[in-house]
Structure 1
């Protein structure tokens, strides 16, 4: 059942998401994260910190429900053990949950994670694990696949980082038409700092909290120039302020 908050969330989000897949070579990509007033997304050493309030968390869950895939890095899985499902939404049992896509070059994905438990319980989708193509990982890739994961093998050429455009093309051909990037800092920075067109929409929640020295930042003095953002709207949800921006690039399509 809807509520005034869920109606407000829908009014804010629906105009932002392309209703159809606008590209032939990659999904429509939304990047979202919550940060403190001092620009931190986590505590020292990546420690999980509750930043968002209830209402903006509901917005994040609604945003999840509007995407066919949701991507995080393996450090987020190891540190936070997230579920990556849309739970704080009206009628959650009727929602098509997003496919969790985990960037995990060294195949460290824990089979005891809540992502696997949710999949086996039928309340979450099968995790997709993006692993490096190195032969030394072949045994572990088989173990993950036998446990129920879908394995996507992509080269990192010894860097531990995946080339984003071939990865997005691979996801697109696998029927992920709308992809949500949710963390952690390394993954978010990779998408923000790549010179290629990999993003369409950026949704940032700013909460009235301070994390202080040692907290994890998205942007620092070593960051490369980020893409130009054009504001689409700002809204207050509880005590938090949510900013929505589109990314300006020449092949932008918006409907």
Structure 2
């Protein structure tokens, strides 16, 4: 059994064992350098994944009902969030966009088989962008879309499993809110010294930081894949 099959079996078991009437099962998956960089700067994307790990990413996409990114990723990368390097279905694309900045020319606005869902705090029913379904949600104190409300809405719309791909503020927000159930991380053997994936988890003791437990790792092409279940216990074993 190769690495792709093992990760698929592991993830399927975890999704099937997950029980919630409030939110989807959440898988966090992204690529970073050895020093934790995901981009050169916050608005300058950087292709990090090798061919084999890119195929794994698209395999993971096909295993989830929905795929979510923040508006920063849309503005910098203009992604499609479709399955192209693997045979499988396209997940429902979802964008967190508090201030409704998504451009009408974004590639997510012209997908062939789905309308992208945009979750925002801007309650402007007069805003219509072709190819998008815009939903206003009550924001947090900082004006951002409330993740708990967003996940509850997605669950009610049939999204039982969700893949979160980034960017940095979204990755950090999901970890800080303890909403990530599984992680599949691609690490490329490079030092970049760029924009980091995870920041602002708070002044916590070592025992309260999110941990992978158990976790696994294996080389895939030129990259290292690390995967496991997120544990948020308040003490170390």
With the shorter chain as reference, the TM-score category is 0.7 to 0.9
Partner of 2:201: 223
- Does the alignment pair 1:129 with 2:122? no
The 4+ residue runs of structure 1 with deviation greater than 6 A are none
Partner of 1:232: 215
Pair 139,34 (structure 1): closer, same or farther in 2 beyond 3 Å: same
Partner of 1:253: none
- Does the alignment pair 1:13 with 2:8? yes
CA-based RMSD of the aligned residues comes to 1.9
- Does the alignment pair 1:139 with 2:126? yes
State which of 151, 164, 179 in structure 2 corresponds to 1:168.
151
Deviation at 1:100, TM superposition (A): 0.6
TM-score (norm 1): 0.82
Partner of 1:76: 73
Deviation at 1:151, TM superposition (A): 1.8
**Gaps spanning 5+ residues in structure 1: where?**
251-255
Deviation at 1:159, TM superposition (A): 2.3
In the alignment, is the contact (CA less than 8 A) between 1:31 and 1:202 conserved in 2? yes
Structure with greater strand percent: 2
Pair 235,11 (structure 1): closer, same or farther in 2 beyond 3 Å: same
Pair 19,202 (structure 1): closer, same or farther in 2 beyond 3 Å: closer
CA distance in 2, matches of 1:235, 1:75: 30
Structure with greater helix percent: 1
Deviation at 1:223, TM superposition (A): 3.2
SS in 2 for 1:245: strand
In the alignment, is the contact (CA less than 8 A) between 2:97 and 2:145 conserved in 1? no
Partner of 2:183: 202
CA distance in 2, matches of 1:216, 1:160: 23
CA distance in 2, matches of 1:55, 1:28: 25
SS in 2 for 1:165: helix
Deviation at 1:199, TM superposition (A): 1.4
Deviation at 1:133, TM superposition (A): 4.2
In the alignment, is the contact (CA less than 8 A) between 1:46 and 1:216 conserved in 2? no
SS in 2 for 1:244: strand
